[in-house]
Structure 1
């Protein structure tokens, strides 16, 4: 497998987990980084996720990854900045972490693969793209479910 194929596999992993989350989260592409033999793909959630809904999100993702036979490697139950990390059967590292203001970050890190060029993701973002922006802003899309309370 070369870096491009690994990046495409990473996109498929990210597409699958985001497809499982209902109601839908709106997301944009984070930066793709290329190491000496690996690639990292990122998605930044632009839907506001309330403190009361973070556990719902992590639960849905944790359940899906376990059903996909991913091996859970770290579960951080921090109240403010929770995160879950897992590994696929073919060695891809996956994670979901909650950052400032409840912004969710998904990332897939590939195993070491053959060097190649890596094209931008062809997955279609569901929130505005911030190409050329130095920073992706904090979440700014309201969801009656995700941005609301626990009731």
Structure 2
């Protein structure tokens, strides 16, 4: 797999989890960062998640990732900044982090892959 294929896989991972959330979230692409043999794709949720609904969002995402065979690697139960982290069977690390004002950040970090050009998310 090269970096472009890894970027496309990362986008598919992000698309799939965002489709699970109801009501639908407004989001935008975050920056893509490229390392020597890996990359990171991000989605920034524009919908502010109320303190009362943050646990629900984390639960929906947690259940979806587990249902799809992801291995949960860490959970941060902090009241202000909760987060969950997991890894796919093919080595992609995924996370959902909640900011203090209810901002939500999804991120996928790829495993090491062959170097190639990487197109921006569309």
Q: Which range, TM-score by smaller chain?
A: over 0.9
Q: Distance in 1 between matches of 2:18 and 2:113?
A: 25
Q: Give the root-mean-square deviation of aligned CA atoms.
A: 0.5
Instruction: Determine whether 1:106 maps to 2:106.
Output: yes
Structure 1 moving runs of 4+ over 2 Å: none
Q: Residue 41 of structure 1 corresponds to which residue in structure 2?
A: 41
Q: Residue 116 of structure 1 corresponds to which residue in structure 2?
A: 116
- 1:98-145, Cα deviation, whole Å (9 max, x unpaired): 0130100000000000000000112xxxxxxxxxxxxxxxxxxxxxxx
Alpha-carbon shift at residue 48 of structure 1 (Å): 1.2
Residues 13-52 of structure 1 mapped to structure 2, 5 A cutoff? 13-52=13-52
Instruction: Determine whether 1:58 maps to 2:58.
Output: yes
- 1:7-61, Cα deviation, whole Å (9 max, x unpaired): 0000000000000001100000110000000010000000011000000000000
Residues 123-142 of structure 1 mapped to structure 2, 5 A cutoff? none
Residues 78-117 of structure 1 mapped to structure 2, 5 A cutoff? 78-117=78-117
Is there any run of 5+ residues in structure 1 with no aligned partner, and where?
123-151
Q: Greater strand percent: which structure?
A: 2
Instruction: Count residues with an aligned counterpart.
Output: 122
Q: Distance in 2 between matches of 1:92 and 1:52?
A: 30
Alignment TM-score, normalising by the size of structure 2: 0.99
Q: Greater helix percent: which structure?
A: 2
SS class of match (2:51): coil
Q: Residue 75 of structure 1 corresponds to which residue in structure 2?
A: 75
